Each structure stands twice: as C-alpha cells, then as structure tokens.
Chain A
Amino acid sequence: MDIILEKLREIVHKSHVSDTKYLTFAYSQNVDPILEGIPDYVAIPKSAQEISEILKLANEKNIPVYPRGGGCCEFGGSKPIGDGGIVLDLKQMDKIINLDEDHLIVTVESGISWAQLDEYLSPFGLYTGCMGPGSGMTASIGGGISHHSVGGGGGAKYGACTKQLISLEVVLPTGEIINTGSQANRFSKIPFGRFGNGPDLSGLFCGDNGILGIKTKVSLQVFPRPKFVECKTFQLKGNTARSAAKIMIEIRRRGIDVYDAMYIPDIVVSVFKSEKVILPWIENKIRRGLFFYTIEAYSQEELNEKVKQLDQIFEENKAKILGPEISDGNIARWHYKEQGHWQLYHPLWGLTPTSEPCTTECFVPIQQFPSLLEAIEQWEYEHTPEMDKIFEVTKVRPIVGSGPILLLGENSVEVTCGFTTYPHKDIREINLSLWKSMIDLVTKMGAQWYMMGDICSREFVEIGAFTPEYYSLLTNMKRILDPKNILSRGKFKLLEVEK
C-alpha cells in the first residue's frame, strides 16, 4: 500500500481516507466552470489533533494540504492548485460545542454550516446576525471566517461574518494547535473577547483564504433575533445604480441600522423577467433596477420609526414601493422570511443549460459601485471578439454584468460582477483569459477582495496589486508559519521560488 495512505489511515479512521480515482475526483472542483485540480488523497478528519498529525506528516513528506469546508468557493479555493496533495474535508467536524447563553457566544467546530448553526440557535431566539455567505446552507463557518464572508443575509447591519468572531482554535501549518482572543490566556475559562492579550492574532486567520492555518473551532458572538421586522421593495427611477448608491449613503448618514439593503441592477431585473424567475415582476411590469431593505426592531414603535425614516429616503428619491407580498414582487420578504438570502445568488447559475458565471466578488465603497458597473459595460464592449467566439462555439452569448449589490456594515458594498459562460473545452482558454481580465479591471479600480481562491489570489499578485512592502510582510509571515509551504500551496503565489 502507498506509504502516505497507510500513514493517513493511522491518523484518521481508515474509512475516512482514500486515494481512489473516483473519490478523489469528486474533490477536484468548486463552484466555477473552469478551475480544476485532482488531489492524490482525501481525508476526513474528526478533530484538531488528527489535522495536526496530518500536517506534520505533510511537512515530513512535503505534500501540500488544502482544507475544504463546504466546497462552495467560486474561485477554486478548496481544491488543489494543480493536481496532487491532500484535501481535508472538514464537514464532519460539525459539532456545537457550547452555547453560552449569558454572554451570547456560541462555540462550534468549524465544519458546521451556517444554516445548521442557525437552526440550532433558533429555538433560543438567537441568530448569528450576519448569516455567512450566500451559499450558507452548505458553506461552513470555518470557510466563512477564512473569507470574510457576506451575502447570506444581515450584511448591512452586522458586516462580514468575521466581525462577530470572538476566538479561534487553529492548527498551524506545522501542526501546533493554538487558541486566539481571550483563549490565548491559558487561564481563561470561557471564550468572551477577541481583542487583548497583545496583537489581534485572530485577525491573522480571518480572510486568510486558508494559507496560514486551519480553523477547527470558532467562537462567535450571537444576537437575540428581533421579533419586529419590515421588508420592502422599491422600483427605482432614472440612473438606478446612482440612485441606489445615493439611497445607501443616506441610510448610513441617518444611522438607520437596516438588516439588509440591496440594489438589484437593471440587467438582473431584465434577465429575471425574461427567464421568468420572479414572476410578479413580469405581472407588475417592473422595468428597471429595484432596491429592497429589511429592517428589524425590538418593538413595534421602534420599527415604525425606522420604517418612517427609511420610507422618507425612498420618497425623496422618487422610488415607487411595490406591494407587501412576495406575489407583489416584494423580494425582500422572500429574502428574509423564507431564507431566500441563501438562494439569491443561485439564479446566476443555469440561465441556459450548463451556463455558469465566472465572477468577481469584492467590496467597494458605496459611492464607487456605479462607476464599476459602467466600467464593466465598457469591458464587455472591448471584449466583443471573445464574446463572439464563445457564441460561435456554444450558440449562446454570454451575459455580462453584476448580480445584486449588497450594502455592508463598513459603508461599502459587495459587488458580484461576472459573465456567464460554459464548461466547453474549446473555449477554456478564452474563459480563463476573460476572467483574469475582469479580475484585473476590478482590482485596478481599487476593489477589496474577500474570497480569492486559486485564480484571484494569484492574479492579484501577478498584476502587482500588493505593494512590495505588504507582499514582503505577507511572504515573511507565511515563511514563519509555514516554512515548507504546505498549506494551500499556490495561493497568492507565496514562496513559489522556494518550492
């Protein structure tokens, strides 16, 4: 038997490790149409200790290791970069370790999904605030922390999910297990705070895209779920993107703590109508971009006051309210009441059979997103020959644009630009080239990436977006923590010369 396989079987349960071609192939792709990498081994650990042993083995044998949560990355982040290595499937580490009801802190194993945790918290009248990424029914808490995830609801009120982080248990690339935040003090009895005991080392692992450590336990602040909620959707006028930006800025200026606020661009409305995705928008003859908000409160009076202030903003911007029901086109209600927040991005897939988007998911300042949308329109025009080639092969023209634009806690928005394409071998290089070109454009407009994975982390370095000093610091940190470049090898092109 293969010596590595034999040793892995000594570490994890023998039924939790495999090197067979079928089992490993299933871990070769995430949620994108292009990027692939087949691991040599897949292991399903059940504890930090097992992960630690695997990492020590990987260091000894110089084998890269790729941690995988829900496998929902849209940039190839949880599959090997190139073939080979070990994929660690962390989804079996899904236990709830403790709910501290006094301090409203939940501690979980990192493989648990956002939906599973929310289901657990619900009977206590609690929720996670930010509900993780839009893929939160499958995506794991650990993956969310590794990407500053947003998009699954609550982003405007609570910000990215890492804002809720209290402490982490992390297995370092060389196998040591550490605790951060209040738990850096070995005498601390319970996780209760992130900042203190020196620098914020939790932050080192937040949004690290899995390069600096494997999160195994996560303590998150949770919140009492307000009982009073209003969800409204509005039809915008004029330049709807600019109008939406103006409304978002006004909401922030007036200090109204909307739970979610989202602009749905003209192109999305148009496609959703033409493809009969949201039927009431057809019936109600919606023609232009929409905006919806969800606001929560702990009393009816509080809610009424907030709604009054919000409605005033929409009135000032000549927005027209849709009816209150989902059947009236009030998408906000579906988004919040029926947990549509974990599905809103699904319509980006399968516009026609097998179509899938290559996306660029990033944060930009509110004021800047209309310019980004305009730049994307220009980008489409400039890439007409490539679009023609895709059409020639697939007989379907790509759709270029942005998905819904989501207000975040930090006075920025999440923008998901992209183009739809097909997993056709003959257009793979065109797809890749277009995707990189769009990443370059968005990066050079000053965007901040959260999920970077394979393609974006490497492209960001390739075009010199990091300042040399920053990249040098990042490289040195990687070298200290992961001298053999075991963990997520290839991301950010770190230590590639040494490799």
Chain B
Amino acid sequence: MSKLSEYWDAVYSCMGCGDCGYAIHSAIGKFKSCPIKEVHESPFEVYFARGKMRLAKGILDGRLPLSKELAEIIYQCTECGACHDTCHQTHNPNINLFVTRWIDHVEVWEALRQDLVKEGFAPLDQHARILKSMNDQSRLNPYERELSEKKEAISNLSGFVAEGTSEIGFFAGCTQSLMYSETLQKLGKIIEKSGIKVCKLPNEYCCGSIALRIGDMETATHLMEQNIKYFQDLGIKRIITACAGCYRTLKKDYPKYSDKELPEIINITEFLEELIENQKIQFNSSEPISVTYHDPCHLGRHMEIYDPPRNVIKAVPGVSLIEMKRNRNNAWCCGAGGGLKSQFPEMAVDIAKDRISEAIETQSSLLVTSCPFCERNLTDAISQDAEIKVIDIIDFIYSRI
C-alpha cells in the first residue's frame, strides 16, 4: 500500500478553490501563498498546492503513474506550509472551516515523496548525493564533510560543559556545526555567562531532517534511532537546538516514528527568552538600531514559534523591531526548504530575493532570523551593496552583550 493512500481523505478534501496559490487576504496580512508559483518560469497549476493535490487524486485513483517526470514536479516545493496555513485562513478563533480539519498539505507532499523514493523515481540527482553522504559512515552529514570535522567542531565549542555532565544537551546539528561554528562559539559564551550548564553532544548524529523531507525513510529512521539511543544513554532530559530544521524534526517528527521517551526539545529562541526573563543576559549596548525578523518556516508555520524570537529581539535595549509586510504565519518562505536549495538552487535564490526586497522595505539595518538554512539562502540572495545584513539571532544577541 502506498504512503499516499493513507492520506486519501486529505487529498480528496481539497476542493480546488485555489486560494493556496492566489489568496490575498489583507485583513489578516496574507499576501499570496506559494513561493514556487511566484517565481516559476512555467507557472502551471502543478507548481502550487491545488495542482499537486489534483495530481495526487490522479495517482490515488490509478490514472497517473509515479515517474521521474512526476518527481521533478513534486520536489519543486519548499514544504513551507503556506498553502496549509492559507487553507486554514479564517484565523479567527471563533470560526473554523470544515475542510481544513482533514488536510495537512506538508504531510501529503511528504507521503508522495516517500512513495517516489520507494518506487525508485527519487531521489533526484542532488538529493541522491546528499543522501549518500548522510549514509556514508565516515560522514553521516549532508555536506560531504568528514564526520571527524563535525565532532571536532562540537568538541571545540567553549562555554558548554562536557558530554554527560548535564541533563541539558545542545544539539548542534550538521549545518551550524559545519557552516556556522562561529555562531555556536558565541552561543557558548552567552550560555557560559548565564551560568547554566549545557553539555555538548559531539557524538550526535544528523537529525535526519533532510532525509525526511526528501522521503528517504530508511535513512531518516536509522539516524533518528541512533540519536534517541544517544540521548537515552546520556540521560538527557532537555535538548536545546539553534537550527529550525533540527528543532522541527526532533520535536515534531521523532515522536511520530518512535514510542520511546524523548527529551524535552526547545528552540534557541525559547531558551534565550528564558535567559532574558531570568535576567541571565546583561546587555551592554543600547545603540539605536532597526531590525526586522524573518520567521523560518520550520519554526513558524510548522511549530508556531512566533513570539519567543520577537520577545528576545525586543528585549535588547535600543532595538526597534519593524515587521515585514508578511510576517508570522503569513511570512514568505526564504526558499531554502524541502530540498529546493540543493536541487533547484536558482529558484531558491529567486524566492529569497523577494524576501530580501520585503526586508529592505522596512528600512531596517539587520534582517534577523533563527535558521541556518534561511540565513544562508537569504545571504545568497542579497546584493553586495545592500544596506541590510542577514544575521542569526545568536550573533545579534552576542553583538549587544
């Protein structure tokens, strides 16, 4: 039985109204939904949710086959979840729409991707390269870097205590430990100053997010099992992560695939908010500055973490937080998610350019975010002479203490 067939109700509950592609609902701050549709050079229906749901119906009733051609379409999606949010768009606590009870768009896309992988029509070439690296025992990360590099980067973090000496662990993730280790060093200093003991986890495995998004369940479940065992062996009760992708995966996906007891998972923005509330962070700069905040999809729409990052930013003296036109659940995706950045990099950057333009409209000096994938893709899209700079929330807080 196909994975997609488990979502028959969801697929056939889509009536095809098309708001997932076109909605402009200014009363609730919604200005269009699908980033792929907006940048695609061939703007056919299949490049937003309504068309994909129509294809899913065709697959379920046996009229459309799975194929490589189909995979090329299905993977042109960031899985940002804006279609899902739009489908649920009354956003008034007093009013619920029936149809939205039955559909979780991202779950449908992931089910379809799992079927494509299972039947051998996916992964696509760049995704295959990533998965190969994730399965290579000498690497176990998506970036074709040696496993020892990641271990060394985590082991060298200062400000954290040694593995096994605290029930609070820091899950560094592949992207931040291999690409943004300086940011993690700054986080170590923030944590050290707070006096809270958070241990390093140098033997962590990749969280498996990328494999999950691509639909390779074999790779993903193997990584998940290793991590869960690692957490249990160390007696970890609480995990902090600064990567939105790791956070979504550890908190939302792990419980779906494991019945073992899992640690509490918190995002770095929640942790920083706690530190600020408990006066464990002292700011020493109150220089006026305007910043805007980009909601990472894996943190915002997928996990509804909207207030903690804003509370953290607003707590910094001298900071004026100016929201972009589309924010919180209506935020425009950066374009990096769902494997788009690796397989369709130009499209990912085109999407990010839209987001950068929106940030520039706020006349802010900094575009703060809390996701290494967003940071990277937004940085790739920014012009060198732009008067706005993309920065992770950790780097930003560190710059003010």
Which residues of A does B touch, CB under 8 Å? 15-16, 18, 20-23, 25-31, 42, 44, 70-72, 89, 91-92, 113, 115-116, 118-119, 122, 135, 137-138, 275-280, 326-327, 334, 337-340, 342-343, 346-347, 349-351, 353-354, 356, 422-423, 425
Contact = CB atoms under 8 A, between A and B. Distances in A.
12 contacts: A22-B70, A26-B46, A29-B54, A72-B16, A72-B17, A115-B23, A116-B22, A278-B94, A326-B92, A327-B94, A339-B28, A425-B61
B23 A354 contact: no
Interface in B1-57: 8-10, 12-13, 15-19, 21-28, 31, 41-46, 50-51, 54-55, 57
A292 B89 CA distance: 22
A135 B17 contact: yes
A22 B68 CA distance: 12
Contact of B28 (A16, A21, A338, A356): A338
Contacts of A22: 46, 55, 64, 69-70, 73
Nearest to A425: B61
B97 interface: yes
Contacts of B9: 353-354
Contacts of B24: 113, 115-116, 118-119, 137
A43 to B, nearest CB: 10
A137 B42 contact: no
B43 A25 contact: no
Interface in B90-107: 90, 92-102
B44 A18 contact: yes
Contact of B99 (A326, A340, A349): A349
Contacts of B19: 137-138
Nearest to A24: B44
B156 to A, nearest CB: 48
B13 A354 contact: yes
Interface in B195-222: none
A277 B54 contact: no
A423 B12 contact: yes
Contact of B45 (A21, A89, A118): A89
A327 B93 CA distance: 9
Contact of B101 (A20, A116, A350): A350
A72 B45 CA distance: 13
Interface of B: 8-10, 12-13, 15-19, 21-28, 31, 41-46, 50-51, 54-55, 57-58, 61, 63-64, 69-70, 73, 89-90, 92-102
Question: Which 8 A-B pairs rank lowest in CB-CB distance, beginning with the nearest?
Answer: A350-B99, A353-B9, A138-B18, A354-B12, A26-B51, A26-B45, A350-B98, A115-B24
B95 A115 contact: no
A144 B26 CA distance: 20
Given A18-B44, A25-B64, A339-B27, A353 B94 contact: no
Nearest to B74: A22
Nearest to B46: A26
A350 B92 contact: no
A15 B45 contact: no
Given A113-B24, A115-B24, A277-B95, A44 B12 contact: no
B22 A138 contact: yes
B144 to A, nearest CB: 32
Of B42, B93, B96, B98, the most chain A CB neighbours within 10 A belong to B98
A275 B99 CA distance: 11
Nearest to A345: B17
A194 B19 CA distance: 32
Of B13, B73, B93, the most chain A CB neighbours within 10 A belong to B13
B101 A21 contact: no
A30 B94 contact: no
B54 A26 contact: yes
Contacts of B61: 425
B16 A30 contact: yes
Contact of A277 (B21, B22, B96): B96
Contact of A334 (B57, B95, B99): B95
A422 B15 CA distance: 11
B97 A346 contact: yes
A326 B101 contact: no
Contacts of A18: 42, 44
Given A26-B54, A338-B28, A354-B9, A279 B96 contact: yes
Nearest to A279: B94
Given A26-B55, A326-B95, A42 B64 contact: no
B97 A350 contact: yes
Of B18, B21, B58, B96, the most chain A CB neighbours within 10 A belong to B18
A327 B92 CA distance: 9
A339 to B, nearest CB: 4
B17 A346 contact: yes
Given A22-B70, A25-B54, A334-B92, 11 more contacts: A22-B46, A22-B64, A22-B69, A89-B44, A115-B25, A135-B17, A279-B94, A280-B94, A346-B97, A422-B12, A423-B12
A343 B22 CA distance: 14
Given A113-B22, A137-B24, A347 B54 contact: no
Contacts of B46: 22-23, 26
A356 B15 contact: yes
Contact of A138 (B17, B70, B97): B17
Contacts of B89: 343
A346 B102 CA distance: 14
B288 to A, nearest CB: 29
A396 to B, nearest CB: 12
B15 A23 contact: no
A339 B26 contact: yes
Contacts of B95: 277-279, 326, 334, 340
A16 B102 CA distance: 33
Contacts of A16: 42-43
Contacts of B98: 275, 277, 346-347, 349-351
A490 to B, nearest CB: 20
A80 B46 CA distance: 18
A464 to B, nearest CB: 32
B97 A26 contact: no
Contacts of B44: 18, 23, 26, 42, 44, 89
A115 to B, nearest CB: 4
Given A15-B42, A119-B31, A137 B25 contact: yes
A21 B63 CA distance: 10
Contact of B13 (A71, A92, A278, A350): A350
Contacts of B42: 15-16, 18, 44
A342 B22 CA distance: 12
Contacts of A353: 9-10, 12-13, 101-102
A91 B22 contact: yes
B54 A343 contact: no
A113 B46 CA distance: 19
A275 B96 CA distance: 9
B18 A20 contact: no
Contacts of A28: 54
A368 B231 CA distance: 70
Contacts of A23: 44-46
Contacts of B43: 16, 44, 91-92
A21 B66 CA distance: 12
A346 B18 contact: no
A44 B54 CA distance: 19
